[in-house]
Amino acid sequence: MRILLVLIMLSVPLLSFSQEKNECDDPTMPYWANGINSRIEGEGPTLRNAFKDIQLTETNINPNNGFITLRLIISKTGKFCGIDTFQIDENYKNTEFNDGELIEKLEKVALGLKKWHRDEDYKTYNLIRIKIKDGKIEEIF
Protein backbone atom coordinates (compact mmCIF):
# COMPACT_ATOMS: atom_id res chain seq x y z
CA MET A 1 0.00 0.00 0.00
CA ARG A 2 2.83 2.35 0.85
CA ILE A 3 4.51 1.71 -2.50
CA LEU A 4 1.25 2.49 -4.31
CA LEU A 5 0.95 5.79 -2.44
CA VAL A 6 4.53 6.74 -3.32
CA LEU A 7 3.92 5.92 -7.00
CA ILE A 8 0.80 8.07 -7.06
CA MET A 9 2.57 10.98 -5.41
CA LEU A 10 5.42 10.77 -7.93
CA SER A 11 3.15 10.52 -10.98
CA VAL A 12 0.92 13.54 -10.18
CA PRO A 13 3.64 16.15 -10.88
CA LEU A 14 4.53 14.38 -14.12
CA LEU A 15 0.93 14.52 -15.29
CA SER A 16 0.69 18.23 -14.59
CA PHE A 17 3.77 18.94 -16.71
CA SER A 18 2.34 17.04 -19.66
CA GLN A 19 -0.65 19.35 -20.04
CA GLU A 20 -0.13 22.11 -22.59
CA LYS A 21 -1.09 25.58 -21.31
CA ASN A 22 -3.28 27.72 -23.54
CA GLU A 23 -3.54 31.49 -23.05
CA CYS A 24 -7.34 31.15 -23.15
CA ASP A 25 -7.13 28.99 -20.00
CA ASP A 26 -5.88 31.94 -17.90
CA PRO A 27 -8.28 33.38 -15.33
CA THR A 28 -10.60 36.04 -16.78
CA MET A 29 -10.81 39.51 -15.27
CA PRO A 30 -13.39 42.22 -16.00
CA TYR A 31 -12.14 44.95 -18.32
CA TRP A 32 -12.47 47.59 -15.59
CA ALA A 33 -10.70 45.77 -12.72
CA ASN A 34 -7.44 46.75 -11.06
CA GLY A 35 -6.20 49.18 -13.69
CA ILE A 36 -6.56 46.67 -16.54
CA ASN A 37 -8.55 49.18 -18.61
CA SER A 38 -9.19 46.86 -21.56
CA ARG A 39 -10.68 48.52 -24.64
CA ILE A 40 -10.75 48.39 -28.41
CA GLU A 41 -8.69 50.94 -30.30
CA GLY A 42 -10.98 53.87 -31.07
CA GLU A 43 -13.53 52.67 -28.47
CA GLY A 44 -17.16 53.77 -29.08
CA PRO A 45 -16.76 55.11 -32.63
CA THR A 46 -14.96 51.91 -33.67
CA LEU A 47 -17.81 49.77 -32.30
CA ARG A 48 -20.54 51.87 -33.89
CA ASN A 49 -18.74 51.83 -37.23
CA ALA A 50 -18.24 48.04 -37.12
CA PHE A 51 -21.96 47.42 -36.58
CA LYS A 52 -23.16 50.23 -38.87
CA ASP A 53 -24.28 47.98 -41.77
CA ILE A 54 -26.39 45.79 -39.50
CA GLN A 55 -27.83 48.89 -37.84
CA LEU A 56 -28.90 50.28 -41.21
CA THR A 57 -30.27 47.06 -42.71
CA GLU A 58 -32.03 45.49 -39.73
CA THR A 59 -35.17 47.64 -39.52
CA ASN A 60 -37.86 45.13 -38.59
CA ILE A 61 -36.45 43.36 -35.53
CA ASN A 62 -38.81 41.18 -33.55
CA PRO A 63 -39.44 41.53 -30.64
CA ASN A 64 -39.44 45.27 -31.19
CA ASN A 65 -37.73 46.35 -27.96
CA GLY A 66 -34.98 44.97 -25.77
CA PHE A 67 -31.27 44.61 -25.25
CA ILE A 68 -28.47 42.39 -26.49
CA THR A 69 -25.19 42.00 -24.65
CA LEU A 70 -22.14 40.42 -26.26
CA ARG A 71 -19.42 39.42 -23.79
CA LEU A 72 -16.15 38.95 -25.69
CA ILE A 73 -13.40 37.07 -23.90
CA ILE A 74 -9.98 38.30 -25.05
CA SER A 75 -6.60 36.83 -24.01
CA LYS A 76 -3.81 39.00 -22.65
CA THR A 77 -2.22 39.02 -26.13
CA GLY A 78 -5.46 40.06 -27.84
CA LYS A 79 -6.47 36.58 -29.05
CA PHE A 80 -10.21 35.92 -29.18
CA CYS A 81 -11.10 33.16 -26.66
CA GLY A 82 -14.90 33.07 -26.70
CA ILE A 83 -18.18 34.91 -26.74
CA ASP A 84 -21.27 34.80 -24.54
CA THR A 85 -24.53 36.39 -25.64
CA PHE A 86 -27.55 37.58 -23.69
CA GLN A 87 -30.83 38.71 -25.24
CA ILE A 88 -33.70 40.18 -23.24
CA ASP A 89 -36.93 41.86 -24.24
CA GLU A 90 -38.33 45.09 -22.77
CA ASN A 91 -39.69 43.11 -19.79
CA TYR A 92 -36.22 41.65 -19.05
CA LYS A 93 -37.27 38.16 -20.17
CA ASN A 94 -34.94 35.98 -22.23
CA THR A 95 -35.74 36.12 -25.93
CA GLU A 96 -34.24 35.61 -29.38
CA PHE A 97 -34.38 38.55 -31.75
CA ASN A 98 -35.46 37.54 -35.27
CA ASP A 99 -35.51 33.89 -34.16
CA GLY A 100 -31.76 33.90 -33.50
CA GLU A 101 -30.73 35.29 -36.88
CA LEU A 102 -29.78 38.73 -35.54
CA ILE A 103 -27.40 37.37 -32.91
CA GLU A 104 -25.59 35.33 -35.57
CA LYS A 105 -24.95 38.49 -37.60
CA LEU A 106 -23.83 40.44 -34.54
CA GLU A 107 -21.47 37.67 -33.40
CA LYS A 108 -19.88 37.55 -36.86
CA VAL A 109 -19.11 41.28 -36.70
CA ALA A 110 -17.85 41.01 -33.10
CA LEU A 111 -15.48 38.18 -34.06
CA GLY A 112 -13.91 40.47 -36.64
CA LEU A 113 -13.02 43.17 -34.12
CA LYS A 114 -9.25 43.55 -33.71
CA LYS A 115 -6.77 45.80 -31.91
CA TRP A 116 -7.81 45.20 -28.30
CA HIS A 117 -5.60 47.08 -25.84
CA ARG A 118 -5.18 46.91 -22.09
CA ASP A 119 -3.00 48.67 -19.56
CA GLU A 120 -2.17 45.39 -17.75
CA ASP A 121 -1.56 41.93 -19.24
CA TYR A 122 -4.65 39.97 -18.22
CA LYS A 123 -7.25 37.91 -20.04
CA THR A 124 -10.40 40.01 -19.90
CA TYR A 125 -13.98 40.14 -21.00
CA ASN A 126 -15.36 43.18 -22.76
CA LEU A 127 -19.04 44.01 -23.16
CA ILE A 128 -20.82 45.31 -26.23
CA ARG A 129 -24.40 46.35 -25.55
CA ILE A 130 -27.04 46.88 -28.20
CA LYS A 131 -30.36 48.62 -27.56
CA ILE A 132 -33.30 47.64 -29.75
CA LYS A 133 -36.20 50.11 -29.94
CA ASP A 134 -39.18 50.08 -32.28
CA GLY A 135 -37.66 47.22 -34.30
CA LYS A 136 -34.35 48.99 -34.96
CA ILE A 137 -30.92 49.07 -33.39
CA GLU A 138 -31.04 52.40 -31.61
CA GLU A 139 -27.74 52.39 -29.74
CA ILE A 140 -24.48 50.45 -29.56
CA PHE A 141 -22.28 50.98 -26.53
Does 108 or 40 have the greater pLDDT score?
108
Percentage with pLDDT > 70 across the chain? 86
Residue type, 13: P
User: What is the mean predicted confidence (pLDDT) over 94-99?
Assistant: 97
Residue type, 2: R
Q: Say how far apart CA 66 and CA 92 lie, in whole Å.
A: 8
Residues whose CB is less than 8 angstroms from the CB of residue 74 and which lie 6 or more positions away in sequence, other chains included: 38, 80, 81, 116, 123, 124, 125, 126
Instruction: Give the predicted TM-score (pTM) of the model.
Output: 0.80
Given this model, what pLDDT does residue 6 score? Answer: 46
List, as one string, the DSSP characters of 23-64: GGGSPEEETTGGG---EETTHHHHHHHHTHHHHHH--S-SSS
Say whether pLDDT at 126 is over 60: yes
Given this model, what pLDDT does residue 84 score? Answer: 97
Rg (CA), the chain: 21
Q: Residues 1-33: pLDDT tens digits? A: 556 444 455 555 555 554 667 999 999 999 888
